[in-house]
């Protein structure tokens, strides 16, 4: 949800709470509450054509990524939304579906972001009978006759967003040079809860990229703008890129694993865990890829097995455990302060996850993908104990730190997830047969 703090857990995997209330009617005319006038017969959003009507050939769109794992603790993109379009910074999150902006409707609890809060108008409200509203409330009691499509989303880091579903144009430049302005639904969040309240945030909201119908990717696919394929490349030194569509997906060198059907998140299924070439005795380890999480989180058993292997290897190395660094729970110091992971990586092995459902689907996690060097010059583990932050004991999250410097592709059309080691400072050419 943004920002590097010692308290930030960086877990944005979301679940929706059943919630119904009206937005405060106290908004001024210039920042009118988007409460729908009773008797409105506006058509459901999914039945509306995008701005540029007519038969479409799906293309792709690419966005530069900003931010890093340390010291900022998040990756985000800039998107232009509204009419006229205005820029907003959105935290990219594959672990949740709903995109939302901090919204002056009026804003009850919203931190100050880099741009003015989004101001809705009454005609932007998504009707309760819209299929996207029903999809947003799947599994909860949903009244199709309500005045507005309210939502409340709770995130794993104990943050939350409360608001109402609205629709507006997203200004996108496709790689075929066409500019399109599809009308997409997103959350007008007027009550946000953060780990640290009232602190400035580096983003204006969140870009939900999950598998649900309300995610931006699903909506673009349903409207024929792009295929239901997405990829990201998070730069280890910051930056990178995000793309929608399949034009940048390499046709060779990718490692692919089928998407697991057991979860609603992006999961390549269960994996076995290795430290170097040695098995850690952890099998059937269910794994989720989540860009909304700064760090990687293991359940109790895999975390203990991993930590024991690391400490055993380091017992004969010139490193000492450092307990005074507040950055992360487990850190080491050397004879002198470390300046980069290169100074210490020789003392650590590569962690590997072997996904049993894939054809030799191996995800290698070298030291630079699980260590950070803090401002104090210590090397700290970016793989944390998920049970200590309240995660399900069987849930293992692969976060930003372990996804750096590789292209990760989520192909919802073919239902598989792929990755390949690659520098993220330069976008590959569309249609390239290999990297």
Q: How many CB atoms lie within 10 A of CB 376?
A: 15
| First-residue to last-residue Cα distance in the chain | 33
Of 68, 91, 93, 157, the catalytic one is 93
Dist. CA 134–CA 427, nearest whole Å:
37
Dist. CA 352–CA 268, nearest whole Å:
14
Closest to 13 (Cα-Cα) out of 398, 362, 310, 383: 398
Task: Give the bridge partners for 180, in sequence order.
Answer: 172
Structure token pair of residue 151: 């939502």
Q: How many CB atoms lie within 10 A of CB 65?
A: 22
Q: How many CB atoms lie within 10 A of CB 327?
A: 18
Side-chain-facing half-sphere of 150: CA atoms under 13 Å: 21
Cα-based distances in Å from 20 to 17, 106, 206, 403: 10, 17, 22, 37
CB 214 within 8 A of CB 206: no
Of 147, 191, 290, 405, the catalytic one is 290
* Phi, psi values for residue 79, rounded to 5°: -130, 145
**Active-site annotation holds for 204:** no
Name the residues annotated as catalytic: 93, 290
């Amino acid at each position: 949800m943004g920002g590097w703090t010692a308290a930030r857990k960086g877990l944005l995997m979301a679940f929706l709470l059943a919630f119904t209330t009206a937005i405060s009617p106290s908004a001024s005319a210039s920042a009118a509450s988007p409460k729908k006038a009773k008797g409105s017969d506006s058509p459901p959003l999914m039945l509306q054509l995008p701005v540029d009507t007519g038969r479409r050939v799906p293309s792709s769109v690419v966005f530069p990524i900003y931010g890093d794992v340390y010291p900022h603790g998040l990756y985000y993109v800039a998107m232009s939304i509204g009419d006229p379009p205005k820029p907003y910074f959105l935290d990219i999150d594959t672990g949740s579906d709903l995109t939302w902006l901090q919204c002056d409707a009026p804003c009850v609890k919203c931190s100050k972001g880099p741009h003015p809060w989004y101001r809705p108008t009454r005609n932007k409200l998504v009707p309760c009978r819209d299929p996207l509203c029903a999809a947003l409330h799947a599994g909860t009691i949903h009244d199709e006759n309500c005045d507005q499509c309210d939502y409340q989303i709770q995130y794993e880091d104990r943050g939350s967003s409360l608001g109402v579903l609205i629709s507006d144009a997203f200004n996108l430049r496709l790689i075929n040079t066409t500019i399109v302005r599809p009308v997409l639904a997103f959350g007008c969040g007027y009550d946000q809860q953060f780990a640290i309240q009232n602190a400035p945030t580096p983003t204006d909201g969140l870009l939900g990229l999950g598998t649900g119908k309300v995610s931006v990717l699903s909506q673009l696919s349903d409207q024929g703008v792009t295929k239901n394929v997405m990829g990201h490349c998070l730069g280890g030194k910051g930056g990178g890129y995000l793309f929608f569509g399949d034009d940048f997906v390499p046709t060779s060198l990718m490692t692919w694993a089928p998407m697991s059907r057991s979860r609603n998140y992006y999961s390549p299924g269960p994996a076995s865990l290795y430290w170097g070439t040695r098995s850690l005795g952890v099998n059937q380890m269910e794994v989720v890829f989540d860009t909304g999480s700064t760090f990687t989180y293991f359940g109790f058993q895999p975390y203990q097995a991993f930590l024991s292997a690391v400490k055993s290897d380091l017992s004969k190395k010139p490193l000492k455990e450092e307990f005074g660094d507040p950055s992360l729970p487990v850190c080491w110091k050397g004879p002198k302060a470390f300046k980069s992971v290169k100074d210490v990586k020789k003392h650590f092995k590569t962690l590997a996850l072997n996904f049993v459902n894939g054809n030799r689907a191996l995800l290698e996690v070298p030291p630079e993908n699980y260590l950070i060097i803090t401002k104090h010059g210590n090397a700290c583990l970016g793989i944390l104990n998920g049970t200590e932050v309240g995660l399900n004991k069987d849930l293992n999250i692969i976060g930003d730190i372990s996804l750096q410097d590789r292209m990760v592709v989520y192909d919802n059309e073919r239902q598989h997830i792929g990755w390949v080691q690659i520098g993220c400072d330069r976008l590959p050419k569309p249609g390239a047969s290999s990297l």
